[in-house]
Every structure is written in C-alpha cells, then in structure tokens.
Amino acid sequence: MENMEFEVLDAFEHTLKSNLLKELPSYELVYREVMCQQGSADFICFPYEKMLGTYDFSRLSSLENGSLVLSLLKYNSGRTKEYLKERTSIADAAFNRVLKELKANNFIVKRKNLYFLSENFVQENDNIWAFEVKATSWKRALLQATMYKAFANYVVAVMPFEEEELLAEKLDLFTEMNVGVLLFDSQSLAFKWLRRPLKDSALSKWQKFFFLGKISGQHFQESLFSMR
C-alpha cells in the first residue's frame, strides 16, 4: 500500500511540474510534503517564483514573532507599540528585538510612535495552491484540505476515479468549504474535475506570512546549494 501511495504522489508531482493539468496555472515552484502549522500538505505550488522574494525573513531572529507582528500591521493605519505587544503576547526582550529587526530590514516604519507596514514591503498578489492526495477517505481529504485554507488561496483534494460516485454524492460539502475535487489516475495520468476551487483569501494572515517566510528560506537555501 505504501509503495502504491508513493507511486501516486510521484505521478501527480510529474503532472504538476509538467503543467499537464488543464485550467491550472503553470507552476514555477512545486513543493512536496510541506509541513504547515496544521498538518503536512502533499503539494504546495506557486505560479511565480518572484513572490517568495517579498517574504525573505531570513534576517529575522524569529520567523514566528516577525510574521505575527507583520500580520497586525497595515500601510495606512498605524498601530501603537502597546497594541502590538498586547495582541502578540511576545516577551519584552523578544518583542523589542523583533520591532528593531523589522524596522532595520525595511519591513515596517515608525511615525509619531505608530508602526506601519513599509512601502518597501510590497506584497505580490496571493496565488498559493495546496493539494491533498488521498487514495480513500473523502472525509480525511476534505478535513486536511480545509486546514490549508489558513494560508492558501486554492485548495484541492485529489482522489482516484474509483471514488467518483461517492465524491459526487458528497460534493455539496466540498462546495460549502470551497475545496476543489480532482480525480486522478497515476497510470494513465488522466484527470477529471468534479469541482474547481474558487479563489479565497487566506484565513490567517499570520499563518500566511509564517508559511511564506518558511518556504522563502527553504527556496533560498536550495538556490545556494544548486549554485555550488
């Protein structure tokens, strides 16, 4: 069974990287088995590599603290230090350090004792895709896919053609949660959409920043390794 699961994952990875799925963007980056705040996504995909450059938080001493503070800030509406401290519950020394680091790296600016997102922190249009591949158990597929909505804009449950009749009966539940349903055959690479997902905003700005910072760091390290 385990070998069969790896076979399906390998085949689907090839399909994603080869841009064989219709009505999906061409992905410049495809990551497999990505640990997230909630579970492990089988695949995370980005149409544009440049998106990750915005979220290079590698110079921050704490990715978690940095992304948490950033998630509370806006460009045109300032926040006081007390407001940020109260809502993050970060210890005093770590809190002061992260504010200093964010300011030094031009992620935030301070005006009249208020903190804002810096105009240098230009956020690309979100276009994050998450895929959960399951051989059986539509409930588990739906549950796990729904978790990725915390940071992703599109989530898709991928299951075999043998599950089509059952999935058709449960399609209202996937529609209610805005989770896409894709049938896939690992042997022929055939696929069929039962439901295409609509674009959503990430449910958690903090989890989105944390996730993108993590992936950006991983991508940077991989780029350095490939240049050796």
Q: Which of 10-14, 190-194, 211-215 has the lowest mean pLDDT?
A: 211-215
The predicted pLDDT at position 45 comes to 94
The mean pLDDT value for 30-49 works out to 87
- Residues 171 and 108: their CA atoms lie apart, in Å, by 44
Q: Residue 41 forms beta bridges with which residues? A: 34
Give tens-digit pLDDT for 79-95. 999 999 999 999 999 99
- Confidence check: pLDDT of 168 > 90: yes
The predicted pLDDT at position 1 comes to 41
Half-sphere exposure of 104 (CA within 13 A, CB side): 12
CA nearest neighbour of 84 among 61, 104, 102, 58:
102
Domains and CATH numbers, the chain: 2-48+125-195 (3.40.1350.60), 52-123+204-226 (1.10.10.10)
Give tens-digit pLDDT for 129-158. 999 999 888 999 999 999 999 999 999 999
The predicted pLDDT at position 74 comes to 96
The mean pLDDT value for 23-37 works out to 87
The predicted pLDDT at position 220 comes to 66
* pLDDT band of 206, cuts 50, 70, 90: very high
Q: Cβ contacts of residue 195 below 8 Å, gap of 6+? A: 171, 174, 175, 179, 180, 181
**Average pLDDT for the chain:** 90
Residue in the structure block whose two tokens are 């948490």: 68
Q: Are 40 and 53 in contact (CB under 8 A)?
A: no
- Confidence check: pLDDT of 164 > 50: yes
Residue 156 three-state SS: strand
The predicted pLDDT at position 221 comes to 66
The predicted pLDDT at position 222 comes to 61
Q: Are 159 and 138 in contact (CB under 8 A)?
A: yes
**Interhelix angle for 92-104 vs 63-71, to 10°?**
70
pTM for this entry: 0.90
Residue 132 burial (CB < 10 Å; 0-12/13-18/19+)?
Answer: buried
* pLDDT band of 23, cuts 50, 70, 90: confident
- Residues 141 and 195: their CA atoms lie apart, in Å, by 14
